[in-house]
Amino acid sequence: MKYFLGALIAVAVILFIINIVDLNRYVVRSVAVYDPKVKKRLKVCFVSDLHNYACTPKFFEDIKEYGPDVILCGGDTLTATKGRKQDRAYDFLKELSKIAPTFTALGNHEYRAMIYPEVYGSLYEEFLKRIDEYGIKLLSNGSFYFEENNIKVTGINIDRFYYKRFKVFKMEDDYIESLAGRIEDDKYNILLAHNPDYFEYYNSYGSDLILSGHVHGGLIRLPLLHGVAHPGIRFFPKYSGGVYDDKGKFVRYADSYVSSKNAVIRFIVSCGIGFHTLPLRLFDPGELIFITLDSKKE
């Protein structure tokens, strides 16, 4: 029995050390997407779920080295906690805006701050003030069209109802259209939709590429099973992090690189950068995602 307990303690210590390391590191993922609707190459840096976490200088150096044409934030840059300072979140946004034109959607934390000012005070107003100061455009049920590239980016805010715990709820067939407007099929359409649970609805809407976050990689990631936990108190969520095809099937990262020459890439779910509530990221480091969009190559 003492050998068993000793082994158990040793495993626990090893896992604790791995978790500490993974809480303080990130990996770079590169994705190449080819589509004939794209008229000119666009290099996109996609980041999500900072949660007021402090990034190292190297994080920003890696983005600069990639040289993005645009930076897209998937939401939850803030952590909506009453009275909590958000200085690291604002420093993060400021640094991003110095590198390339930056656009942000709302995560459930920013959205919560927006609809419950009686709880969170002026948090959302301060957020709007800061992004305006930094020249960051908010895509809140709104779009921006990159005319030269023929790429339209739209950010949506699904209702708080769809973030309730324990289950994924049914959406009306026209719900996404009611938020984002009618899809323009002649353009390459990117949808920033924070919650990945509703991929089927985003896909049915007609999006060419969907970018989500929210699940933080599942906190613990296991081979084949992927993410273990969901913020909505569910286990083994279907979409916890990674690249998925147009059927919602996971496309394996190969040396942190995946290309649409080998798969129809429709959905990218960021494992995020930071954490909140539970300091847990076991086998689940933060992610910095670089997406190159270009015309279909012969």
CB 149 within 8 A of CB 42: yes
The stretch 33-52 carries a mean pLDDT of 96
DSSP H or E segment with residue 30: strand 26-34
Q: For Cα atoms 167, 189, 173, give the angle at the middle one, nearest 5 degrees.
A: 40
Burial of 71 (0-12, 13-18, 19+ CB in 10 A): buried
Task: Tell me, yes or no, if the pTM score tops 0.85.
Answer: yes
- Please tell me the distance from the alpha carbon of residue 195 to that of residue 190, in angstroms, as a whole number: 15
CB 193 within 8 A of CB 202: yes
Read off the DSSP letter of residue 282: B
Q: pLDDT tens digit string along 160-194?
A: 999 998 889 999 999 999 999 999 999 999 999 99
Q: Token match 């929210």: residue?
A: 214
CB 113 within 8 A of CB 144: no
Sign of the torsion angle spanned by Cα atoms 107, 110, 114, 115? positive
CATH number of 2-294: 3.60.21
CB atoms within 10 A of CB 61: 11
pLDDT band per the 50, 70, 90 thresholds, residue 6:
confident
Q: pLDDT tens digit string along 117-151?
A: 999 999 999 999 999 999 999 999 999 999 999 99
Segments in 69-107 forming alpha helices (H):
87-99
Paired tokens of 262: 């080998």
- Looking at every residue in the chain, the average pLDDT score rounds to 93
- Please tell me the distance from the alpha carbon of residue 150 to that of residue 43, in angstroms, as a whole number: 13
CB atoms within 10 A of CB 105: 30
Paired tokens of 69: 């044409």
pLDDT of amino acid 225: 79
Q: Under DSSP, is residue 158 helix (H, G, I), strand (E, B) or coil?
A: coil
Percent of the chain with pLDDT over 90: 80
Sign of the torsion angle spanned by Cα atoms 104, 202, 286, 43? negative
Read off the DSSP letter of residue 198: G
Paired tokens of 267: 């959905």
The stretch 78-98 carries a mean pLDDT of 94
Break the chain into its structural domains and give their ranges: 2-294
Paired tokens of 240: 């916890």
Sign of the torsion angle spanned by Cα atoms 63, 68, 70, 73? negative
142, β-bridge pairs = 155
CB 56 within 8 A of CB 274: no
Q: Under DSSP, is residue 7 helix (H, G, I), strand (E, B) or coil?
A: helix
Provide the Cα torsion 254, 255, 256, 261; round to 10°: -40
